[in-house]
Amino acid sequence: MSKVTSMKQAISTAISDGDSVYLAGFTHLIPFAAGHEIIRQEYTDLEVVRATPDLIYDQMIAAGCVGKVTFSWAGNPGVGSLRAFRRAIEDGVPNPIELEEYTHFGLVMRLYAGAVGLPFVPLKTFSGSDLPAENDNIRSVQSPFGDEEVYAVPPLNPDVAVVRGQRADENGNVHLWGIPGEHKEAALASDTVILSVEEIVDESVIRSDPNRTLVTADDIDYIVEEPYGSHPSYAQGYYDRDNDAYLNWDEVSQTHESTQEWLDEWVYSVADRDEYIRKLSSDRLLDLQTGNAYSEPINMGEN
């Protein structure tokens, strides 16, 4: 049975209300299309986890999908703060949300512990900061070799992860290049994994360069081929970041009402990512095109 499906189908099968969900991607290859599909399907009470709950989590919060955010940096990168996130915390609009807060390193190491099956991992951070006092999942541990104490975090195993890559074969062996962020750890730590890629390619493309593989078929449950699936974030070599969209969000999200209007226009009244992309002006799409700069190939040898 093929794993290749639509985002609509993948989300509706994989996610239930109340699930913990990790949409992976650190500044690059952020699964915006998956987030919009979650909003369209009107999920509630999700625990959304992400080092950088940027615009896509702000939109999910504004849409009322979220009961809890586990995170390490909540801002509009390069622009300012996340207004819907702040409205939820400061004013309980549209609903109060619970927070569980880490540093980037702390959260990534929780995913890593989840991906490698350890009950805890030590890390050198948090000491001297006020964060451990606010989060019982940050505890100290003494080295069994000498007196040194360091902090530790427990594994994080989200119910569902959505990860992206530039290209995958139809089994789910996936290549990612540019900034890898935490896509790999998120995929390997989560129970169910939705993979969304810019292109599905022949298996021989992936297997010509196995060192580039992020995760393999065995860890992927659903595959969605979705060009521009990260807009307004970017996909290295495919399209650039749409910076105007990030700036515009700062305006759009000024009030709950203006945010709802934007969601109506760009999410609820749009069927899927394809329709969303067609709705963008061609000027805007053209501005995001990148020229070509191919890597020097490697020779694997004919064995």
Question: Which residues within the stretch 160-219 sit at the binding site for a second copy (CB under 8 A)?
Answer: 166, 175, 177-178, 180, 205, 208-209, 211-212
What dihedral do alpha carbons 253, 258, 259, 261 form, nearest 10°? -150
Residue 146 as a binder of a second copy (CB under 8 A): the answer is: yes
DSSP assigned state of 89? I
Residue 101 tokens read as 């807060």
Burial 81-120 (b: 16+ CB within 10 A, else e): ebbbbebbbeeebbeebeebbbbebbbbbbbbbbbeeeeb
Q: Print the binding letters for residues 5-44 with a second copy: x by CB under 8 A, - otherwise.
A: ----------------------------------------
**Among residues 73, 120, 262, 266, the one that binds a second copy under rule CB under 8 A:** 120
CB-nearer residue toward a second copy: 89 or 201: 201
Query: What region does 205 belong to: left with phi over 0, alpha with psi -120 to 50, or beta?
Result: alpha
Q: How far is the CB of 170 from a second copy (least distance, A)?
A: 16
Which option in a second copy, another protein, none does residue 81 bind, with CB closer than 5 to 8 A by kind?
Answer: another protein
Q: Environment class of residue 167 by beta-carbon count within 10 Å: exposed (0-12), middle (13-18) or buried (19+)?
A: buried
Which option in a second copy, another protein, none does residue 143 bind, with CB closer than 5 to 8 A by kind?
Answer: a second copy
Which option in another protein, a second copy, none does residue 3 bind, with CB closer than 5 to 8 A by kind?
Answer: none
Residue 278 as a binder of a second copy (CB under 8 A): the answer is: no
CB-nearer residue toward another protein: 9 or 300: 300
39, 63 contact by CB (below 8 A): yes
Residues that bind a second copy (CB under 8 A): 117-124, 137, 139-141, 143-146, 148, 150, 152, 154, 166, 175, 177-178, 180, 205, 208-209, 211-212, 236-238, 240, 290-303
